[in-house]
């Protein structure tokens, strides 16, 4: 009997679904798109209603032939790419290229890879949604028109190898505008005053701190040190008593379950994962993980979604789990429902576990460390979203400080919050939003009564300076793009990756910093193509694509309305835009003239502005920074020929050691003996994902690994193990033990010179 054919996108997904459907089905993978616009021509006939010219993607010919062969002998063909616009377009391309008769062709979709979901999808097939296909075609052709027309202009006027696009150019503009705000920011001084009090009834009573909020009946003006000191001096000898005590309770509601953007942001804040890495791991969890005897199973629902909607069956199962695992007080009276954000397509459910009983600890052995961390985050957030609110009590105490014989009176305030019922926070608490102000809550005040006498122990002025707006991180850039309606969940990761690959942006720590090239390209685009890099224009275009999907607008008309004005703007820009020269701060070693950022067959490099008289050039790193010069590694001997010293040189993955005698290389050593085997030393290495880590040079005989910079000295004061340097974007850098729980500020453990060296080694 002929078998039915199911075509999915991913080989990993094909493996999982094949085991679910059994022997009557053949499951094949297209490995993503099989057909697209051609690479070396625009492939769009604008004179014939923007008719696209689709071709089989290079190196996909064998896949196409395999699918054609499988389709010929199949009783029925089920097209099962991802349940979104892009997946619908892939299904349509498959139907076109495989030439399958309509009576044998079905489109199925599922939002989780479980036995129930897959079998239900096969039992309820549908036809291809041509409106979805048209919306995806419109997006693809629109991006091709912009990229294919605008990029050559940038090559001509700026430098070769550049690109522009509807979403990526707006993302770069957001980063450049923020950088301009930072550069233009003028910091202003201000002061705050803090009083230290204790209860007068006991000299042994604990001291607590409160903040001055009013002085002489109004908000104090503390813009200078003189003004702050005047208030401090006036408060000398003041008598203090409790003016008022107010207590209020409030409910702290849980956050909705994850959608794509919130998952990306939380994974960046809580797990320090890039947006690209987060989506890659989520894809693995969605497609299926081998769970021992249970076989392969998709662990989460579809990870590209803008909806917080939850299936009733999933909610019912989750409520049963909550009551069983945590007790009835943690279960709200009714199912929790969350409203959709404005502009959401609401095509899929939220991102949630497919089986709530697959707790993170239960399946931990089947997951890699990163898979476990991300799955745990998704599981905890979803469980918490269905739990009862936490109940908090906030006690606000106001203290009057009156100066005898004077009209001056200060009002101090301290607020203390405590948890009465932990609710959903028993399972999950959100990571603090990046760039949010640090929590500087006052020290806990004792229980005080109105009219109670206090002793003012000290008054302390503190100097502060206003801070510029923070640079965007990947997480906060995703938030900004989402809030302004730019792009869709599936576009955030590739957009952020592209602007870094093009050299428009460097990543410094977690911050995305525009390069000189990015600033210059943005400046030209803003001047000559204000619509293309306008956030409102891009958001409006996304809304129009949604209308195409609904069937209320023709995709060809959308393109026609855009293309005419765009071409006219392009012609004017070609005439008016002058050749852009990007001058760097670096000087030529031969003639002293400024070096220019240039582009060659191997990418960006620095070239002398005196060319052709001076032909000096210098290589750039992947971060578009000058490659450091080779220098001797004093005291380091070659492992192969024993020559000393080795040379520190720069390669594709950063600095490494090379022997000037035999030419062989070896990783940089930290000089620290391996604490596991005591034979080798810890060396700096690079993972397949490009991340720096530190491991024993006796690998594979010794598999000791550290993911933070180890310090040669000092050792842990508690267990004498290796200390690790932990830089922080906000707040003080820390030092932590690699073995025990010892943690301390770097300033307390390291001399200033060593701390600066540790920071330089880590960032360099």
Over the chain, what is the mean pLDDT? Answer: 86
* Top-confidence residue, 472 or 296: 472
To the query of whether residue 148 is one of the catalytic residues in this protein, the response is no
Superfamily, domain 153-185+470-576? Topoisomerase I, domain 2 (1.10.460.10)
* Top-confidence residue, 602 or 416: 416
* Residue 717 reports pLDDT greater than 60: yes
- Give, rounded to a whole angstrom, the gap between the first and last alpha carbons of the chain: 64
Instruction: Out of 302, 375, 428, 504, pick the active-site residue.
Output: 302
Q: Which residue has the tokens 């994974």?
A: 267
Model pLDDT, residue 761: 39
Give the integer Cα–Cα distance in Å for 475 and 480: 9
Percent of the chain past pLDDT 70, that is, above it, reads 92
Model pLDDT, residue 763: 37
Model pLDDT, residue 652: 65
pLDDT average, residue stretch 171-183: 94
- As a whole number of Å, the CA-based R_g of the chain is 31
Give the integer Cα–Cα distance in Å for 514 and 498: 13
Model pLDDT, residue 431: 66
Give the integer Cα–Cα distance in Å for 127 and 104: 11
Model pLDDT, residue 750: 65
Model pLDDT, residue 466: 92
* Residue 758 reports pLDDT greater than 60: no
Model pLDDT, residue 130: 94
Superfamily, domain 260-388? Topoisomerase I, domain 4 (1.10.290.10)
* Least confident residue range of 335-339, 500-504, 751-755: 751-755
* Residue 145 reports pLDDT greater than 50: yes
542 confidence band (pLDDT: 50, 70, 90): confident
Model pLDDT, residue 143: 87
pLDDT average, residue stretch 477-498: 85
Model pLDDT, residue 346: 54
pLDDT digits 0-9 by tens, 35-63:
999 988 889 999 999 999 999 988 888 99
pLDDT average, residue stretch 164-174: 89
* Residue 764 reports pLDDT greater than 70: no
Q: CB neighbours of 555 closer than 8 A, spacing ≥ 6? A: 134, 135, 137, 138, 548
Question: C-alpha distances in angstroms, 540 versus 557, 558, 562?
Answer: 15, 11, 12
pLDDT average, residue stretch 208-233: 92
- SS3 at position 47: helix
Give the integer Cα–Cα distance in Å for 421 and 250: 11
**What is the DSSP annotation of 587-610?**
E-TTT-PEEEEEEETTEEEEEETT
pLDDT digits 0-9 by tens, 343-354:
555 567 899 999
Q: Is 628 left (phi over 0), alpha (psi -120 to 50) or beta?
A: beta
Model pLDDT, residue 203: 86
- Cα angle value 512/517/522 (rounded, 5°): 80
Q: Is 405 left (phi over 0), alpha (psi -120 to 50) or beta?
A: left
Q: CB neighbours of 109 closer than 8 A, spacing ≥ 6? A: 80, 83, 87, 121, 126
pLDDT average, residue stretch 253-259: 93
Q: What is the dihedral angle through the alpha carbons of 422, 427, 431, 437, rounded to the nearest 10 degrees?
A: 0
* Residue 756 reports pLDDT greater than 60: no
pLDDT average, residue stretch 105-120: 88
pLDDT digits 0-9 by tens, 489-501:
778 888 998 888 8
Domain boundaries 190-253+392-465, CATH class: mainly beta
pLDDT digits 0-9 by tens, 595-628:
988 877 666 788 999 998 999 998 887 666 788 7
- Token reading at 486: 């730019």
Give the integer Cα–Cα distance in Å for 547 and 123: 30
Question: C-alpha distances in angstroms, 143 versus 37, 151, 541?
Answer: 11, 11, 11
* Top-confidence residue, 442 or 492: 492
* Residue 437 reports pLDDT greater than 80: no
Question: String of b and e for 60-79 (b: at least 16 CB within 10 Å)?
Answer: beebbeebeebbeebebbbb
Model pLDDT, residue 433: 52
pLDDT average, residue stretch 459-481: 92
* Residue 444 reports pLDDT greater than 80: no
* Residue 192 reports pLDDT greater than 90: yes
* Residue 443 reports pLDDT greater than 60: no
Domain with CATH 1.10.290.10 in the chain: 260-388
Tell the CATH topology of 4-128. Rossmann fold (3.40.50)
Write out 277-346 in H/E/C secondary structure. Answer: HHHHHHHHHHHCEECHHHCEECCECCCCCCCCCCCHHHHHHHHHHHHHHHCHHHCCCCCCCCCCCCCCCC
Q: CB–CB of 251/391 below 8 Å?
A: yes
* Residue 535 reports pLDDT greater than 90: no
Q: CB–CB of 501/509 below 8 Å?
A: no
pLDDT average, residue stretch 709-720: 84
Domain with CATH 3.40.50.140 in the chain: 4-128
Q: Crossing angle of helices 166-184/535-550, nearest 10°?
A: 150
List the strands of the sheet with 709-711, edge to edge.
709-711, 723-726, 734-737, 743-745
Give the integer Cα–Cα distance in Å for 484 and 32: 29
Give the integer Cα–Cα distance in Å for 415 and 230: 26
Model pLDDT, residue 501: 82
Rounded to 5 degrees, φ, ψ at 748 are: -85, -20
* Residue 517 reports pLDDT greater than 90: no
754 confidence band (pLDDT: 50, 70, 90): very low
pLDDT digits 0-9 by tens, 627-656:
878 888 877 788 788 888 888 887 766 677
Model pLDDT, residue 440: 43
Model pLDDT, residue 385: 94
Model pLDDT, residue 468: 92
* Residue 757 reports pLDDT greater than 60: no
397 confidence band (pLDDT: 50, 70, 90): very high
Give the integer Cα–Cα distance in Å for 693 and 706: 6
């Amino acid at each position: 009997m002929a078998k039915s054919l199911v075509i999915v996108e991913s080989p990993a997904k094909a493996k999982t679904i094949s085991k679910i459907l059994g022997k009557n089905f053949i499951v094949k993978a297209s490995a993503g798109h099989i057909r697209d616009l051609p690479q070396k021509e625009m492939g769009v006939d604008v004179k014939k209603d923007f008719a696209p010219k689709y071709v089989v993607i290079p190196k996909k010919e064998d896949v196409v032939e395999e699918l054609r062969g499988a389709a010929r002998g199949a009783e029925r063909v089920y097209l099962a790419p991802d349940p979104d616009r892009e997946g619908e377009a892939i299904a349509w391309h498959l139907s076109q290229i495989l030439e399958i008769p309509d009576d044998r062709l079905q489109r199925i979709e599922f939002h989780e890879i479980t036995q129930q979901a897959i079998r239900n999808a096969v039992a309820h097939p549908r036809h291809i949604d041509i409106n979805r296909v048209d919306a995806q075609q419109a997006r693809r052709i629109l991006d091709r028109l912009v990229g294919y027309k605008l990029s050559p202009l940038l090559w001509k006027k700026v430098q070769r190898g550049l690109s522009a696009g509807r979403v990526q150019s707006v993302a770069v503009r957001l980063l450049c505008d923020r950088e301009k705000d930072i550069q233009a920011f003028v910091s202003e001084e201000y002061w705050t005053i803090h009083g230290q009090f204790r209860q007068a009834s006991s000299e042994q009573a604990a001291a607590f701190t409160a903040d001055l909020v009013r002085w002489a009946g109004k908000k104090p003006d503390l813009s200078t040190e003189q003004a702050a000191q005047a208030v401090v001096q006036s408060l000398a000898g003041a008598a203090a008593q409790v003016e008022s005590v107010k207590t209020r309770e409030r409910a702290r509601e849980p956050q909705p379950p994850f959608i794509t953007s919130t998952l990306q942001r939380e994974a960046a804040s809580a797990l320090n994962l890039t947006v690209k890495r987060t989506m890659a791991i989520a894809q693995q969890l969605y497609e299926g993980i081998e769970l021992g005897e249970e076989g392969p199973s998709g662990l989460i629902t579809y990870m590209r979604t803008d909806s917080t909607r939850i299936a009733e069956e999933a909610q019912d199962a989750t409520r049963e789990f909550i009551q069983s695992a945590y007790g009835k007080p943690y279960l709200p009276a009714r199912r929790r429902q969350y409203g959709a954000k404005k502009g959401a397509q609401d095509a899929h459910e939220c991102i949630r576990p497919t089986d709530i009983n697959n707790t993170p600890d239960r399946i931990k052995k089947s997951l890699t460390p990163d898979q476990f961390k991300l799955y745990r985050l998704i599981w905890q957030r979803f469980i918490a979203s269905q739990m009862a609110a936490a109940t908090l009590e906030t006690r606000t105490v106001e203290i009057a400080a009156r100066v005898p014989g004077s009209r001056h009176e200060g009002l101090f305030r301290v607020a203390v919050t405590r948890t009465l019922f932990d609710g959903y926070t028993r399972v999950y608490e959100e990571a603090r939003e990046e760039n949010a102000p640090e929590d500087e809550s006052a020290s806990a005040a004792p229980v005080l009564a109105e009219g109670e006498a206090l002793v003012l122990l000290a008054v302390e002025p503190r100097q502060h300076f206003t801070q510029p707006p923070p640079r965007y991180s990947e997480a906060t850039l995703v938030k900004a793009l989402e809030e302004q309606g730019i792009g869709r969940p599936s576009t955030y990761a590739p957009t952020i990756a592209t602007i870094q690959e093009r050299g428009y942006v460097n990543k410094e720590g977690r911050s995305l910093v525009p390069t000189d090239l990015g600033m210059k390209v943005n400046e030209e685009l803003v001047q000559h193509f204000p619509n293309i890099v306008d956030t409102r224009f891009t958001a409006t275009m996304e809304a129009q694509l949604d209308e195409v999907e609904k069937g209320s607008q023709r995709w060809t008309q959308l393109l026609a309305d855009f293309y005419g004005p765009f071409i006219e703007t392009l012609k004017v820009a070609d005439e008016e835009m002058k050749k852009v020269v990007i001058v760097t701060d670096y000087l030529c070693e031969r003639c002293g003239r400024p070096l220019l950022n240039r582009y060659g067959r191997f990418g960006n490099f620095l070239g002398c502005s005196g060319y052709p008289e001076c032909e000096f050039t210098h290589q750039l790193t992947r971060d578009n920074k000058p490659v450091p010069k080779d220098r001797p590694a004093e005291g380091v001997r070659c492992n192969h020929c024993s020559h000393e010293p080795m040379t520190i040189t720069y390669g594709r993955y950063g600095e490494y050691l090379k022997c000037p005698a035999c030419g062989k290389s070896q990783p940089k050593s930290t000089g620290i003996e391996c604490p596991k085997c005591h034979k080798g030393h810890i060396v700096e290495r690079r993972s397949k994902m490009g991340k720096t880590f530190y491991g024993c040079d006796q690998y594979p005989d010794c598999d000791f690994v550290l993911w933070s910079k180890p310090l040669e000295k000092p050792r842990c004061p508690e267990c004498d193990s290796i200390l690790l340097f932990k830089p922080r974007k906000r707040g003080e850098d820390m030092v932590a033990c690699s073995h025990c729980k010892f943690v301390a500020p770097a300033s307390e453990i390291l001399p200033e010179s060593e701390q600066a060296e540790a920071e330089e080694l880590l960032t360099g």
